[in-house]
Chains A and B, each alone.
Chain A
Amino acid sequence: MPVLEHGEVREWRRRTTSEQWLRFLGALGLTASLVAAGAAISAQTTWVFVLDAGLQLRDLGMRMFPPDGSYVGALARPLLDTLHIATLGTALGVVIAVPLAFAAAGPTTPSRVYVRPIAILVLVTSRSVNSIIWALMLVVLLGPGMLAGVLAIAFRSVGFVGKLVYEAIEEAPELPVMAMETTGAGRAQALAFGLVPQILPTMAGVSIYRWEINIREATILGLVGAGGIGMALQASIDALRWSQVSVILLGILGTVVVAELVSARVRQGLR
């Protein structure tokens, strides 16, 4: 806490003068860049279309309501497909992620110089590319369908699960592993009995959490042709059948809520 001295008088200040200036300039820069960003967006916006949004909303609402009840039966299969995509994708993602996590974590990596950076790069790449972009690429390669969806979900999950697991490995106390090694256990045995039990709850929790996220993601993969309820959504939007769109949205909402409840229950049980 700086104290300024004016001859006899000592003045208490919360911040030094340079700190104050720094904060002021920081705030100014932040505000200026926000204004510039807002102006850039405003320049790209057709305001006439924005201003009649209320009208559009009313129009959309009227087309969506009442929901087309006869369409409910057609939803079961796409919803099940969505569930399969999320579950298989998560499972495959976890299977790929765990060895990568061991390769990326400091205490377990086979080589700090060669293997570790590559494993971390793979995890970062997987996380930076959204699952729908993965799906876009996989649909080009594998054709439209659920397989592309499953792989897209898996590729995106690898980074998420891998990162959290390798952080768990790095944070786990090393003593149990060392104790195993002093009893004459090999490296693999020491890790299996000294480390794995420590990270197993994290692994299970992270996987379930990712499964919940993946259910949500799997609902939209169909927009680019990767199977599931999104295909039905795209078809109904393209045909302007908004009364079916509202049914699909309700179906998605129900599935997401159920998945969230299941995931919360399981994670609570793991604790």
Chain B
Amino acid sequence: MASELARQWRPPRRIESAAKRRIILGGVALYGLVALVTLDIDPARIAEGLSRTGAFFSGWLRPDFVTRWTDIRAGLLESLSMTAVATAAGILLSVPLGLGAARNLVPGPVYIASRGALSMFRAFHEIIVAILFVAMFGFGPFAGVVTLTVGSVGFLGKLLAEAVEDVDPAPLEALTAAGAPWASRVVFGVLPQVMPRVLGLALYRLDINFRESAVIGLVGAGGIGATLTTAFSRYEFESVSAILILIIGLVFAAEVISGRLRRRLL
């Protein structure tokens, strides 16, 4: 009897009540069904598109770096410049906002204002921000730099604030007890503790900015994305493939290098 019971043992369920479990699973299945139905799949159009896969993939398999090389080179250099400037500007601007959004450093109103500003910066997708900045600043990489800067400030500021809130409070207390003013407490009590993490995050953001710079060109904000869109609208899939291969290669290289650097910093 005992061995029979032992054989029938099952791990405990996460949701204990069987009825509740069925309702949840049924709900999920129902939602999936409804969502699938709304997809409006048009088999005729898909068949038509798939008949073009030949041209599409043959373009893919023969990446053409040569025909548009001057455009591709200019686009890549522009993307790299945008990435560098936006990341630097983002770091500079995120420090005051990030410190302002740390609860243990500033009074309530400053905290709320800084948090609000930071979440506003992250609320919209980069593409939407880029559309607005292109409308404001005109086409070209400047709008792209501003877009990437806004994204970087939102990202770095929030993570800096979290890092500052997690610091060991003992050095801060010691500085306060010794009568140090606010600026000295930040420079000697907080920054040494958060600097390695912030540098690591900045390197990570450098990666992200390069990846994003390939995308915001779609709405006119410059960079390799603009070159990519042009190639797409000309149906030059050989060039599209070449550009994507370069982006993937560069992102991969950046990831490896920044990963190494981050590991050395931490």
Residues of A within 8 A of B (CB): 33-34, 36-38, 40-41, 44-46, 49-50, 53, 56-57, 60, 80-81, 84, 87-88, 91, 124-125, 127-130, 132-133, 136-137, 140-143, 145-147, 150, 193, 197, 216-217, 219-220, 223-224, 233, 237, 249, 252-253, 256-257
Which residues does chain B contribute within 8 Å of A49, judged by CB atoms?
A: 137-138
A216-B136 in contact (CB<8A): no
> Is B228 in contact with chain A by the CB < 8 A criterion?
yes
> Is B88 in contact with chain A by the CB < 8 A criterion?
yes
A60-B123 in contact (CB<8A): no
B49-A132 in contact (CB<8A): no
Which residues does chain B contribute within 8 Å of A197, judged by CB atoms?
A: 11
**CB nearest neighbor in A for B126:** A220
Count residues on chain B whose CB falls below 8 Å from chain A CBs: 56
In the complex, identify which listed stretch (B16-24, B197-205, B213-221) lies at the interface while the others stay far away: B213-221
Q: List 6 A-B contacts (CB under 8 A).
A: A81-B38, A84-B38, A132-B215, A141-B53, A220-B127, A249-B124
Q: How far is the CB of B141 from chain A (nearest CB, A)?
A: 5
Residues of B within 8 A of A (CB): 11, 31-32, 35-36, 38-42, 45-46, 48-50, 52-53, 56, 77-78, 80-82, 84-85, 88, 123-125, 127-128, 131-132, 135-138, 140-142, 145, 211-212, 214-215, 218-219, 222, 228, 232, 244, 247-248, 251-252, 255
**CB nearest neighbor in B for A33:** B84
A223 to B128: give the CA distance in the assembly, Å.
10
The 10 lowest CB-CB distance pairs between A and B, nearest first, are A49-B138, A37-B81, A143-B45, A84-B35, A128-B248, A128-B251, A45-B142, A37-B84, A220-B127, A141-B49
A150-B45 in contact (CB<8A): no
**CB nearest neighbor in B for A51:** B137
Which residues does chain A contribute within 8 Å of B88, judged by CB atoms?
A: 34
